[in-house]
């Protein structure tokens, strides 16, 4: 080997050794981690509607992370966005095309094998469609239990939310519950309303992207107070052959004959009593022991007599009363004495003609109807209506003039009728009658008091004009007039009354056959 070749080989060995001594160190991965920060499950998606969800993750490795996503519904895709220094994101977007329950698997990894994985539940639903079938709600009464259902046809796989507003106090809405797919459900309303009125109830059904609203009117009739009980009839321990003395005298004729009556003790025990007169007119002679305590025994009739001296009296009616008092009642028993004088003073009047036979009684109303009586007080320009004969008599003594029966109203609710309410204002000294619950409430706010239901009238029908009960109002006097006479209605309007429309109706066929 030549010297030059040997030198060359030596230099190559030295150079190789030098390279070995100065070799670069091996590359190693940096310390760090990958973590997914999204809780499960993913938000629901709706068929045919755009969807997006963001999966965030932490990346502290300093190297790029690759994402592998499987199990996505048709129509959804993945877009990655990485950050080498901290956070990264995986975006799921698109429009799903089919309903189902899906498991989405997410796997994150870098070049050096560091990784993280998580599975997510994703539900794709069909949005709900609603059709509210119910169009109206039944009415209720304050203080009485109420229930009703709103029927809704439904299609979809997403349970909607239902919201109510405007419900009367005391009434609430129940939960929807489990909804069958492609079926129907009922929204229940129930409870006991506490305040009368007309309520506007709103329903709002909220789906994922579809909603529907409906408005209903719910009428709650106010509580009608129970009518007061009539006072107990005074106990009468006697049976009378007659309960009054009635004398008729014509000036110039002979005096009326002496009259007598008998009464029997019907209690089975002796009764002590006292007789007295409320006045002692000169034309009256009575046959009894006044102010003396007397005893009536069972089975022993007692007589009582009276005579009159009408000479010199002017034509007219003269009255006196005999009172029977005792421990049998707090109120005395009254036996009226009436003297009717006719003719002209200073002349001889022929005897009175014989009294005609009594008129047969008028037919009474059927069991389910009663007469509506009308009265009028000219001093205060006020009309008054009642179905109570006793109340009508009391009003007559107070200055009202009986104008007769308008017709008849039903005594109880039957099909095709509605209640007739009677209101009263002590300040205005005026009554008001209506079939409308909203007018009842409005008049109560104006100071009127609800006295109750006086009857039931047929509902108004504009197709039969002769069934109308006309209502008119005089703002000057505050008087309401109710009439079935169209001519009277026109005359009242000429006097300043305003026609307020028709109040219910009346049974014309029955009224034509009634007295």
Distance between CA 126 and CA 456 in Å, rounded?
A: 53
**Does the pLDDT of residue 334 top 70, yes or no?**
yes
pLDDT in tens, 473-493: 888 888 888 887 887 888 888
**Does the pLDDT of residue 105 top 70, yes or no?**
yes
Give residues with Cβ within 8 angstroms of 390, minimum separation 6.
Answer: none
pLDDT category at 17 given cuts 50, 70, 90 is very low
Residue 315: phi, psi to the nearest 5? Answer: -55, 145
Q: From the centroid of its chain, how far is CA 75?
A: 54
Token code pair at residue 436? 């409308």
Distance between CA 195 and CA 168 in Å, rounded?
A: 7
Query: What is the mean pLDDT of the segment spanning 151-167?
Result: 79
């028993």: which residue's tokens? Answer: 333
Q: Say what the pTM is.
A: 0.33
| H or E element at residue 439 | helix 437-445
Token code pair at residue 366? 């059927």
All structural domains of the chain, each given as residue ranges with its CATH number in brackets, are 34-125 (2.60.40.10), 129-221 (2.60.40.10), 238-342 (2.60.40.10), 369-513 (no CATH)
Among 308-317, 322-331, 442-451, the minimum mean pLDDT is found in: 322-331
Q: What is the pLDDT of residue 168?
A: 94
Residues 156 and 207 sit within 8 Å (Cβ to Cβ):
yes
Distance between CA 177 and CA 442 in Å, rounded?
A: 40
Distance between CA 498 and CA 490 in Å, rounded?
A: 10
Distance between CA 142 and CA 390 in Å, rounded?
A: 31
| H or E element at residue 423 | strand 417-425
Task: Identify the three-state secondary structure at position 490.
Answer: helix
pLDDT category at 208 given cuts 50, 70, 90 is low
């Amino acid at each position: 080997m030549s010297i030059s070749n040997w030198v060359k080989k030596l230099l190559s060995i030295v150079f190789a050794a030098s390279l070995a001594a100065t070799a670069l160190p091996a590359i190693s991965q940096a310390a760090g981690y990958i973590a997914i920060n999204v809780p499960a499950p993913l938000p629901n998606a709706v068929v045919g509607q755009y969807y997006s969800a963001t999966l965030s993750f932490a990346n502290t490795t300093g190297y790029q992370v690759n994402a592998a996503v499987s199990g996505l519904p048709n129509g959804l895709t993945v877009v990655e966005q990485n950050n080498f220094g901290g956070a990264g994101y995986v975006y799921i977007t698109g429009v799903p095309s089919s309903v189902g329950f899906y498991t989405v698997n997410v796997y994150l990894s870098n070049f050096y094998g560091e990784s993280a994985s998580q599975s997510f539940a994703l539900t794709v639903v069909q949005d709900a469609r609603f059709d509210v079938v119910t169009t109206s709600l039944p009415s209720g009464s304050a203080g009485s239990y109420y229930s009703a259902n709103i029927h809704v046809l439904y299609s979809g796989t997403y349970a909607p939310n239902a919201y109510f507003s405007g419900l009367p106090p005391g009434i609430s809405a129940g939960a929807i519950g489990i909804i069958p797919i492609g079926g129907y459900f009922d929204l229940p309303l129930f409870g006991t309303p506490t305040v009368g009125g007309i309520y506007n109830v709103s329903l709002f059904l909220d789906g994922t992207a579809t909603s529907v609203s409906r408005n209903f009117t719910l009428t709650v009739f106010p509580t009608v107070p129970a009518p007061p009980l009539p006072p107990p009839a005074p106990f009468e321990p006697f049976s009378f052959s007659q309960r009054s003395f009635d004398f008729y005298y014509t000036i110039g004729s002979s005096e009326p004959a002496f009259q007598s009556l008998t009464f029997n003790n019907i209690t089975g025990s002796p009764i002590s009593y006292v007789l007295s007169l409320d006045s002692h007119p000169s034309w009256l002679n009575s046959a009894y022991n006044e102010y003396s305590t007397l005893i009536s025994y069972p089975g022993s009739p007692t007589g009582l007599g009276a005579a009159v001296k009408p000479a010199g009296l002017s034509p007219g009616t003269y009255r006196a009363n005999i009172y029977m008092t005792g421990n049998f009642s707090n109120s005395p028993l009254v036996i009226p004495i009436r003297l009717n004088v006719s003719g002209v003073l200073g002349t001889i009047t022929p005897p009175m003609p014989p009294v005609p036979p009594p008129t047969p009684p008028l037919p009474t109303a059927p069991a389910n109807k009663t007469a509506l009586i009308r009265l009028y007080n000219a001093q205060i320009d006020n009309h008054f209506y009642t179905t109570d004969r006793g109340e009508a008599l009391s009003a007559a003594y107070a200055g009202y003039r009986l104008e007769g029966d308008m017709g008849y109203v039903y005594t109880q609710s039957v099909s095709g009728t509605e209640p007739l309410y009677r209101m009263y204002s002590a300040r205005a000294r005026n009554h008001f009658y209506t079939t409308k619950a909203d007018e009842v409430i409005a008049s109560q706010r104006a100071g009127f008091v609800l006295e109750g239901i006086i009857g039931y009238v047929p509902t108004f029908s504009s197709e039969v004009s002769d069934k109308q009960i006309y209502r008119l109002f005089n703002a000057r006097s505050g008087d309401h007039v109710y009439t079935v006479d169209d001519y009277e209605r026109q005359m009242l309007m000429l006097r300043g009354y305003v026609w307020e429309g028709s109040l219910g109706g009346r049974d014309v066929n029955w009224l034509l056959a009634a007295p």
